[in-house]
Amino acid sequence: MGNIATAFAAAFKLADNTDPADCQALGATIETAVGAPRTHNKNAYAAPTSMPSGGVLRSIGADGENAGDVLDAFGGVPTGWLRRANGTGASPAAVASGDIVGRWNFTGYYVTGGPAYATAPASLRCVATQNWSSTAQGAKLVWSATANGSATSSDYWTLDHNGSFTGTGAFGYATGAGGTVTQSASKATGVTLSKLSGDITLNNAALAPATIVSFVLTNSLIGATDVLILNHVSGGTLGAYALNARCAAGSATIDVRNATGGSLSEAIVIRFVLIKAANS
């Protein structure tokens, strides 16, 4: 027991308020009984006195190095836990609906108007959605962020207890998820573009009035039960075409219909967005 405590303290080289006697070996677990905030300071120039409210353990990385905690497991799953109970340590009480069960805050340092650390410009928290018991432990995850030019965070996205995902921010694909491809030879010529979204420029071959032409988009990201959303975004006569898509494994057949009473010879641009779906 004494050897384990000594080795634990030596390995982590905690600050002056470390007492090796506070290290306890319980089976394969080493626990630290923390009576006061403690600091592991690898950067000797960072004063170990500033601690967020309620903080009990603080690690300071060396200048220019990434800092983080590592959990190694061999044949098992490395796992972290944020555990909450109401009441006290001597008399814990059940979590109640609306309680924040745990929260990760992400913050950084600023100088203008400071210096100080931002309070919590972004966070991920778990919130109880009912009073907890052995058979009722409903919870949701809430993501918050702070808009540019603001110092106040807002809740944007929620993964609710029933699996629904809702939010107030924009939802879609970012740069890098899309691409472009141009059809050759005719409007029936297939194209290949393995992207989640993108633009397809059709050949300018003539399409007779009230006539449908079909071509295949080969896309390895498409599943048989997916949905492909199509819009005519530029080129040619806007509003003159009707579009439809039928997904298969690795491709989609796209139908283009000339909805006017005259022949059209236009290189229209179709924008597509792939939505993953299921029928079971």
pLDDT, tens only, 126-185: 999 999 999 999 999 999 999 999 999 999 999 999 999 999 988 999 999 999 999 999
> What is the model's pLDDT at position 8?
52
Average pLDDT over residues 98-103: 97
> Which 8-state DSSP code applies to residue 264?
B
> What is the model's pLDDT at position 63?
85
Average pLDDT over residues 21-34: 49
Instruction: List, for residues 261-274, the tens digit of each pLDDT value.
Output: 999 999 999 999 99
Confidence of residue 1 (pLDDT cuts 50, 70, 90): very low
Query: Model-level pTM?
Result: 0.76
Query: Taking CA 10 as the corner, what is the angle to CA 64 and CA 22, rounded to the nearest 5 degrees?
Result: 115
CA–centroid distance for 277 within its chain: 19
With CA atoms as reference, report the closest residue to 139 among 158, 118, 120. 158
Q: From residue 171, give the alpha-carbon distance in Å to each of 124, 155, 183, 198, 218.
A: 18, 15, 29, 16, 25
| pLDDT over 90, % of the chain | 71
> What is the model's pLDDT at position 14?
46
With CA atoms as reference, report the closest residue to 124 among 97, 92, 78, 156. 156
> What is the model's pLDDT at position 50?
65
Question: At 184, is the secondary structure helix, strand, or coil?
Answer: coil
| pLDDT over 70, % of the chain | 83
Return d(Cα 128, Cα 138) in angstroms, integer: 6
Asked if the 178-275 domain carries CATH number 1.10.3470, the reply is no
Ranges of each domain in the chain: 2-60, 86-167, 178-275
